[in-house]
Structure 1
Amino acid sequence: RKKARLGRQIPLHRPCLQRFLPRDFSPSLDLRPCSSPLEISSKGSRLCSPGGTPAPKSRRLPPRLAWCAIDWEQVRLLEPLGAGGFGSVYRATYRGETVALKKVKRSDRNRLACRQSFWGELNVAHLRHGHLVRLLAAAASAPEDRESLGTVIMEYAGGSSLHRALYGERAPSPPRCLRYARQVASGLRFLHAAGIVHLDLKPANLLLAEGDVCKIGDFGCSRRLQDLRSPAAAHPCQLGGTYTHRAPELLRGERVTAKADVYSFAITLWQMLSRELPYSGERQCVLYAVVAYELRPAFTPAFRRAAGGSPLPELIRDCWQADPERRPSAAALLQRLSSPELRL
């Protein structure tokens, strides 16, 4: 407990903060279902062009994504599901099927982050995996909505997130949480093998779909590793994300690797078993303590009761190591989670 409150006790010295944290770092503590607001002009109606006729398909996507251009005649909005810093998500129908529709808003304050949020969603356009939310269609504009930077249509993975389940009245049992953890690790292994990092893994971005299947969603912060190796790559901290789950090397503005997701997974797994929030105290204090003093969430009595005598604390410690090279890969993580020794 004393260590978990460390962020409240550390004095804030500006030179130290500037040393450890990039000047343009502006994380957002967003625990809602999506981290990417919008108003529905007419609930349940079709999206039409200003003339009242259905809008044509978007032609602004690159040729490689032409297959997933939105057919606006087939879109009907139903109800809002959640909102965040970069946009809103709605339940909708597309070509007769229930889907989730996300609109990324246009912002004059952080245009680059908004653009990255939209194009980040498209990083997984070609991927198909049972524990990743599947992208169905996208457009770089929206009819009758000049505030929208882009629209993404995804499979509807249910109206509940792991965050909502953990902090609700009927929280999932520890064995069920461990099963979710394996499913998330499986999705991460596939994602990393495809050369993509999520960079915003947290319970709010893990959706509980039909059949009690946990799926990774909200890829607005994701990046392709090959793009990050380019000299022209954008500063990683411009992506936003949630500071409580963000790896210390990213807080320092260092190189992005797939091990950043492994760190976020460790914080998420800790939340699954403890049903507590990772830190208390002011944001800048927590950031400073995570980077300079290797502050991590405490293994509380609630966590230890849920973990029992399993090696989960050791696994979590390995995953949130300060040095990314010392963290296991997603493949090794899945293997350890599937070990017969790890039973709850």
Structure 2
Amino acid sequence: MNVGGPSESRPLEKGLFAERYALRRVIGRGGMGTVYQAWDELCGQSVALKVLEATGPLSPVAQERFRREAKLARRICHLNVARVFELGSHEGRSFLTMEFVEGEDLRTLLAREGVLSPVRAARLAVEVCSGLGAAHQASVAHRDLKPANVLVERGGRVVLTDFGIARALEDSNEEGLTRIHGVVGTPQYMAPEQLTEGKVDARTDLYAVGLLLFEMLVGQPAFAQATSLKAAFERLSAPPPDPRNHHRDVPPELARVVRQCLSVSPSGRPSDAREVARALETWLTGGSA
């Protein structure tokens, strides 16, 4: 998402999308569709415009779910969560506009830098937890938290995107998203209860926090081979992975936080995102997590 101002590029197509937005460039493609940087002619600002797309026409149920989940996301107002501005439809395609974040996603950052320092990883995780805490207070679970959905602004701010919206494609067959018991997710980052029961709550997101922190500290996913459902299910009988087994420089306190978040049973995880944030902040200030 490292882009210049709207005057530095020509629109991708003539006219305005939905009679309001000038599409400037594609900034992402994924299982949900295409994301553009667009210029909002009405408000005079850059926005991220996400167009919902699938391999075939979306059912009315999927369309309604997309609208419902996006409306839920609009309830979250926090510095570490991308604001959702508008929901709409243009030429038969549903879309939403969100806060435009000038920076890059965590997946790109990790691909370039590999292992992050423990302090930097902890600071990023604290902001992730702050955003999740606000979402959970609004009764919204993310359900598909992964590096691609964590944006790091040029100034360092962490911004979470795509709250709950992956579920809108439950009736489609998008590459990279898998439906299990009515829950859509990415096998490599799905919590055990998503795989076995389809049950999702705030503690499911805390499992994903453990995966993110592990990956930042070690430089590779905790379950690097779990790109298929078979591989994902195999980890259900294994103890939580210890990042110190892969990287001895990981502080024991941070490794403990990772293992707690990665408890196979939700009851073994921290009670909420604020508890994880407090543990990380305590360690950052020189205390014991």
TM-score per shorter chain, which class?
Answer: 0.7 to 0.9
Q: Which runs of 5+ in 1 are unaligned?
A: 1-41, 49-71, 224-234
Structure 2 residue corresponding to 1:128, chosen from 61, 77, 81: 77
User: Deviation digits for residues 259-299 of structure 1, max 9, x if unmatched?
Assistant: 000001101110111111332266133222123x1365452
Q: Is the 8 A contact 2:24 2:36 kept in 1?
A: yes
SS in 1 for 2:263: coil
Matches of 1:151 and 1:159, distance apart in 2: 22
1:327 aligns with 2:269: yes
SS in 2 for 1:187: helix
> Could you tell me how far 1:171 is from its partner in structure 2?
6.4
> Could you tell me how far 1:84 is from its partner in structure 2?
1.2
Q: Which structure 1 residue ranges, 4+ long, deviate > 6 Å from structure 2? A: none
Task: Please name the residue that 1:92 is paired with.
Answer: 38
> Could you tell me how far 1:121 is from its partner in structure 2?
2.7
1:193 aligns with 2:137: yes
1:318 aligns with 2:263: no
Matches of 1:96 and 1:287, distance apart in 2: 45
Task: Please name the residue that 1:104 is paired with.
Answer: 52
Amino acid aligned to 1:123 = L
Matches of 1:341 and 1:113, distance apart in 2: 48
Task: Please name the residue that 1:66 is paired with.
Answer: none
Q: Which has the higher contact order (CA 8 A, sep 6+)?
A: 1
- Number of corresponding residues: 261
Matches of 2:77 and 2:186, distance apart in 1: 26
Matches within 5 A, 1:181-330: 181-219=125-163, 220-221=165-166, 237-277=181-221, 278-280=223-225, 283-291=228-236, 293-294=237-238, 296-297=240-241, 299=243, 303-305=247-249, 307-308=250-251, 310-328=252-270, 329-330=272-273
Q: Name the % identity.
A: 27
- RMSD between aligned residues: 2.7
SS in 2 for 1:240: strand
Matches within 5 A, 1:28-43: 43=12
Matches of 1:300 and 1:109, distance apart in 2: 47
Relative distance call for 1:170 and 1:246 in structure 2 (3 A) is closer
> Could you tell me how far 1:115 is from its partner in structure 2?
4.9
Q: Is the 8 A contact 1:137 1:154 kept in 2?
A: yes
Matches of 2:129 and 2:232, distance apart in 1: 26
Q: Which runs of 5+ in 2 are unaligned?
A: 1-10, 169-178
User: Deviation digits for residues 172-192 of structure 1, max 9, x if unmatched?
Assistant: 543222111110011111111
User: Deviation digits for residues 39-61 of structure 1, max 9, x if unmatched?
Assistant: xxx7153336xxxxxxxxxxxxx
Amino acid aligned to 1:89 = V
TM-score, normalised by the number of residues in structure 1: 0.68
Q: Is the 8 A contact 2:116 2:217 kept in 1?
A: no
Matches of 1:193 and 1:222, distance apart in 2: 20
Q: Is the 8 A contact 1:163 1:204 kept in 2?
A: yes
Relative distance call for 1:237 and 1:152 in structure 2 (3 A) is farther
1:116 aligns with 2:62: no
> Could you tell me how far 1:120 is from its partner in structure 2?
2.1
Relative distance call for 1:342 and 1:118 in structure 2 (3 A) is farther
Matches of 1:265 and 1:45, distance apart in 2: 42
> Could you tell me how far 1:256 is from its partner in structure 2?
2.1
Task: Please name the residue that 2:8 is paired with.
Answer: none
Matches of 1:116 and 1:236, distance apart in 2: 17
Q: Is the 8 A contact 1:113 1:238 kept in 2?
A: no
User: Deviation digits for residues 13-40 of structure 1, max 9, x if unmatched?
Assistant: xxxxxxxxxxxxxxxxxxxxxxxxxxxx
Task: Please name the residue that 1:153 is paired with.
Answer: 97
Relative distance call for 1:301 and 1:222 in structure 2 (3 A) is same
Higher Rg of the two aligned structures: 1
TM-score, normalised by the number of residues in structure 2: 0.80
